[in-house]
Structure 1
Amino acid sequence: MLDGRGGLAYRRVLEERDMVDAVQVTDPCCGHGEGPVWDPRTGRLLWVDMLEGDVLGLTPGPDQVVRHHLDTVAAVVRPRAAGGYLVAVERGFLLTDPELRPTSRLPELWSDPGRRMNEGGCDPAGRFYCGSMAYDMRPGAGELYRLDADLVPRRVLGDVTISNGIAWSRDGRSAYYVDTPTQRVDVFDYDPDSAALTGRRPFARIDSADGAPDGLTLDAEGGVWVALWGGGEVRRYTPTGRLDVRIPLPVRQVTACAFGGPDLRDLYITTSRLGLSEPEPAAGALFRATPGMSGLPVTPFGA
């Protein structure tokens, strides 16, 4: 196994092997686990049981899971700069206090009961991006929204089918994005001042036989880690788009990943048991790997 602490040692090991082990850290506690994020203020990991409308918290050590029910859907959660949390719910956004008790609900973005929010994240300036999808996954029914500190949502991208992972480079000038049925991780040029997304192009292509791209995160060296739904693994792509690390898991439906822990060197991985035709005992559990490099700290929502 990799000892995971020295960058040079990590590269020497990868010359012999590009696989990193993961360990299961919770029971199968989610129907559809998604959206992990490390909150440095509390020293805990948060993630969602999306279609139950719950936000879960894990404090490392005793590995105790605490569940907070918020809505019919809890798509993604992020810390707020002002304290408390921002949660994307079925048709919009909810603000909470530090104990994840709702304090205010923003107006719904649509009335169509056939659509829901799905995944999102904050840019380096604290703007929150979150995308939607149709429950029946019909093509082009989803959109990508941006929520600024003024709490006004703005549509920034249309003709999306399953809006999924989004994350930014350390300098804030590149945004990596997944619309799952495209079988790609795309990259945009990003203007940190104007928040303009331009120059969309493929960064990495995933063969459909290997699974479909889902949630993603970046490490401090610019590598892009993407979870493969139906593929039973997380992959790292170098800044040039070359596959160089794989983390296999004992479940097929791997949904998202995020770096956490006090030094951001643990990679937490969420999984799902949604719609499984055959039982998988660990589906819905949270996993952790130590790949030998650190992640980027989460940027809190700027309001």
Structure 2
Amino acid sequence: MFKVDPISEIVSELAEGPLWDPDTSSIFWSDIPSRLVHCAKITDGQSNSMKMPLMIGAIALTKSDSLIAATSNGFAMISPSGELSIIDEFLEPDVRMNDGKVDPRGRFWAGSLALDFGHERGSLYVLEKNGLRKAAIEKLTLSNGMGWSPDGTQFFFIDSIPGTLTRFDYDVTTGSLSNKRIIVKFDAGSGIPDGMCVTDEGLILVALWDGKRLELYEPDGRKLQEFAV
């Protein structure tokens, strides 16, 4: 069903938030501690990197050529030339942003964690298209992968340290979450749940950090398959 192949020869210290751009057949990702944003073209293998003044946890496409980014102090824009402009600075000095994604209505969701992985010091934030920010989930430890069902009515979210994959009902009109239920509790010692995506068929693909594999789940949490990487 899936075939795992490397997309670039770039070696990252901590790669995060792969982002596909269908218009250019390119994939973006960040190397958080190195403060780099990488871009690789799938068609010809060409790649380039932009050095940032802040750690970048997640990036997303916009209607312009700029990227929106979740950084070590809040939200920012990155121009095509690599210039970073802060648009919302609100995080404490010992907290940074991690993974993030855009919902079906264009809201940018990104989560935070304490640099020392302090218990329940992270949150999941939503940046509305009008620039307003709110905390959608609080008391997280390591906010990580997220995604929406194909019809936009379900939201899936990973908190890595407790090792949970949680499902919420999602109101795409208001961007609100309800009816929280943990659908997968990952076994300690077998890898830490990290990034994830929801397939076109509504299945959930989870990457296990230090587990050397991907795991595929039904929306109700039933495990279907593993893929070694």
Query: If the TM-score is normalised by the length of the shorter chain, which range does it land in?
Result: over 0.9
* Equivalent position amino acid for 1:44 in 2: S
Letter in 1 for 2:95: R
Aligned residues: 229
Instruction: Determine if contact 2:7/2:40 at 8 Å carries over to the other structure.
Output: no
2:194 to 186, 203, 214: 214
Asked if residue 174 in structure 1 is aligned to residue 154 in structure 2, the reply is yes
Match of 2:53 among 71, 89, 93: 71
- Aligned partner of 2:98 in structure 1 is 118
Which residue pairs with 2:82 in the alignment?
A: 101
* Alpha-carbon separation, structure 1, partners of 2:220 and 2:123: 28
- TM-score, normalised to structure 2's length? 0.94
Encode CA deviations 1:127-168: one digit per residue, 9 max, x unaligned. 011110001001011111110111122122110100001111
Amino acid across the alignment from 1:73: M
Cα contact 1:53–1:89 (8 A) shared by 2: no
The structure, 1 or 2, with the larger RCO (C-alpha pairs under 8 Å, 6+ apart) is 1
Q: Deviations over 1:172-214 (max 9, x none)?
A: 1100001112212100111111111111111222111321111
Structure-2 separation of matches of 1:123 and 1:23: 27
Residue 43 of structure 1 deviates from its aligned partner by 1.5
User: Any stretches of 5+ residues in structure 2 without a counterpart?
Assistant: none
Which residue in the other structure is 1:26 paired with?
8
Q: Which structure is higher in helix share?
A: 1
Unaligned runs of at least 5 residues, structure 1: 1-9, 11-19, 250-303
Q: Which amino acid in the other structure matches residue 108 of structure 1?
A: E
Q: Which runs of 4 or more aligned residues in structure 1 lie more than 4 Å from their structure 2 counterparts after TM superposition?
A: none
1:77: how far off? Answer: 0.8
Give 1:27 deviation, angstroms.
Answer: 2.7
State the Cα RMSD in Å.
1.6
The within-5 A match list for 1:1-303 is: 10=1, 21-97=3-79, 99-102=80-83, 104-110=85-91, 112-249=92-229
The answer to whether the 8 Å contact 1:94/1:102 transfers is: no
Tell me which amino acid in the other structure corresponds to 1:101: G
State which structure, 1 or 2, has the greater radius of gyration over its C-alpha atoms: 1
Q: 1 or 2, which has the higher strand percentage?
A: 2
